[in-house]
């Protein structure tokens, strides 16, 4: 990680640039995959699976026998951990339901809003270098609470045509209705257009690499909603002199090991802390099984030393990190000043890992600066809100003349007439 001492604010954008492939190149590659799947369906999916995952599958569906095998072979301790995480995630997300509340905006005019589930959702779960069964919890639990009728899950197979048993166990636990052994852009294409095997869906969720993210964004141009642009993982840790450099180093590496295109940022108010964290990172890196991946991610990550907390807050809000760890004194107070972040972790004993797995919050979060305008996944992500209104005769008599005048001013006379014919009706 390169270290910068008190860089000027007008240089922050360049110092914190995310590692990405040119969008035009991605769209060209991924667009071709999606178009091919639209035309050839299952056969195209089969060919891309063979090319990218190294296995040719006659049937993409995960069978009941495979789920039963996963249930039987998964270690009891891991099952218990997954069940605990599910309980916490259910508890947090179930409280996000909003009661229906009718509002009388004026006498005889009632308006209300009702939450209804999105009927068909597709969940993408990365397999790649790490089987992210935790993402099944983060997406499957709120989808089930919302009452989505079809909950389809796609995840890449391994070289033997198998899916990690923890993914299968978790998917079964949270009530996924269909599971398919399809990964990458081809999974997004299958859920977008539908094939003879895979149903098309109304909204697609889930993290992934740049190809998956590009595929989701292209899908959104074809009438399928997506959760957000969620790409390579990132974390920003802000540490003052009260921080433990060993903790901070572990937090940085926990994101760096996700993938070579991940990015980690350390913002500190002390050059001494910056050096101590750098030493701790080197010591811990040597013991990581995924050290080669983490080392590559660290090559495009940075440490920035700033003079005061005000500057740190300004930089954080400019960067808009996916994960933000405030390892500082009075972390709660500093947290109140954060405007742009996917999820915030307060204090020295709140590692980002707890949010990734089991605290209860959702780990599907906006990356690449999208936290400036997007929220992370929540129960709201799986529901639509329909508005209702009901007027009594007296209500229309009170409101109608204003509506008539407004419609006439816009020269929309049929709009005005729809009110007028009712007002002219004899009692």
**Residues β-bridged to residue 236:** 265, 324
Residue 403 CA: distances (Å) to CA of 112, 400, 413, 416: 20, 5, 11, 7
Report whether 363 belongs to an annotated binding site: no
Query: Of all helices (H) and strands (E), which one includes residue 79?
Result: helix 76-94
Q: For this structure, is 38 an active site residue?
A: no
Inter-residue contact 126 to 114 (CB < 8 Å): no
Report whether 404 belongs to an annotated binding site: no
Inter-residue contact 191 to 201 (CB < 8 Å): yes
Report whether 356 belongs to an annotated binding site: yes
Please pick, among 93, 234, 257, 322, the residue that the annotation labels catalytic.
322
β strands within 228-355, DSSP E: 234-239, 263-268, 302-305, 323-327, 343-346
Please pick, among 93, 323, 352, 363, the residue that the annotation labels catalytic.
323
List of residues 6+ apart from 207 with CB closer than 8 A:
124, 126, 132, 135, 230, 231, 233, 364
**Cα 282 to Cα 51: distance, rounded to the nearest angstrom:** 37
Report whether 258 belongs to an annotated binding site: yes
Nearest Cα residue to 121 out of 207, 208, 203? 203
Report whether 164 belongs to an annotated binding site: no
For 107-244, where are the alpha helices, taking DSSP H only? 133-146, 165-174, 184-193, 210-220
**Cα 268 to Cα 328: distance, rounded to the nearest angstrom:** 9
**Cα 139 to Cα 231: distance, rounded to the nearest angstrom:** 16
Report whether 300 belongs to an annotated binding site: no
Give, as one character, the DSSP assignment of residue 63: P
List of residues 6+ apart from 26 with CB closer than 8 A:
210, 211, 214
Report whether 186 belongs to an annotated binding site: yes
End-to-end CA distance of the chain: 79
Q: How many residues does the chain have?
A: 427
Q: For this structure, is 300 an active site residue?
A: no
Report whether 124 belongs to an annotated binding site: yes
Binding site, annotated residues for substrate: 233, 255, 258, 323, 356, 410, 415
Binding site, annotated residues: 124, 186, 209, 233, 255, 258, 323, 356, 410, 415
Binding site, annotated residues for Zn(2+): 255, 258, 356, 415
Binding site, annotated residues for NAD(+): 124, 186, 209
Residues forming the active site: 322-323
């Amino acid at each position: 990680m390169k270290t910068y001492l008190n860089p000027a604010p007008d240089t922050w954008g360049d110092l914190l640039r995310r590692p990405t492939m040119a969008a035009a190149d991605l769209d060209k590659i991924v667009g071709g995959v999606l178009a091919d799947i639209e035309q050839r369906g299952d056969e195209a999916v089969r060919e891309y699976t063979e090319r990218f995952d190294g296995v040719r599958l006659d049937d993409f569906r995960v069978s009941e026998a495979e789920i039963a095998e996963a249930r039987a072979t998964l270690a009891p301790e891991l099952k218990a951990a997954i069940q605990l995480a599910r309980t916490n995630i259910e508890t947090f997300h179930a409280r996000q339901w909003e009661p229906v509340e009718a509002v009388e905006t004026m006498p005889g005019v009632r308006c209300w809003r009702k939450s209804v589930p999105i009927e068909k959702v597709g969940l993408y779960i990365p397999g790649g270098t790490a089987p992210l069964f935790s993402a099944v919890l983060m997406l499957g639990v709120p989808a089930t609470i919302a009452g989505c009728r079809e909950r389809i899950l796609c995840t890449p197979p391994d070289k033997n045509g198998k899916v990690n048993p923890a993914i299968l166990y978790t998917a079964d636990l949270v009530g996924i209705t269909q599971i398919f052994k399809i990964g990458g852009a081809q999974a997004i294409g299958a859920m977008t257009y539908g094939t003879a095997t895979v149903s098309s869906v109304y909204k697609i969720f889930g993290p992934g690499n740049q190809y998956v993210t590009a595929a989701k964004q292209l899908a959104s141009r074809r009438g399928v909603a997506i959760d957000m642009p969620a790409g390579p993982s990132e974390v920003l840790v802000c540490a003052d002199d009260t921080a433990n450099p060993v903790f901070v180093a572990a937090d940085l590496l926990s994101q760096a090991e996700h993938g070579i295109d991940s990015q980690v940022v350390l913002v500190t108010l002390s050059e001494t802390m910056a050096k101590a964290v750098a030493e701790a990172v080197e010591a811990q890196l040597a013991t990581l099984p995924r050290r080669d991946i983490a080392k590559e991610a660290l090559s495009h990550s940075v440490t920035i030393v700033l003079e005061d907390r005000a500057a740190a807050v300004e930089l954080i809000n400019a960067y808009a990190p996916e994960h933000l760890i405030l390892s500082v004194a009075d972390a709660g107070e500093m947290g109140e000043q954060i405007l742009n972040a996917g999820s915030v972790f307060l204090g020295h004993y709140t590692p980002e890992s707890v949010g990734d797995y089991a605290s209860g919050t959702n780990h599907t979060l906006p990356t690449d600066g999208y936290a400036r305008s997007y929220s992370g996944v929540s129960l709201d992500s799986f529901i639509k809100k329909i508005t209702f209104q009901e007027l009594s005769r007296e209500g229309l008599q009170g409101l109608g003349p204003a509506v008539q005048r407004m419609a006439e001013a816009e020269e929309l006379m049929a709009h005005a007439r729809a009110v007028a014919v009712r007002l002219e009706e004899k009692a």
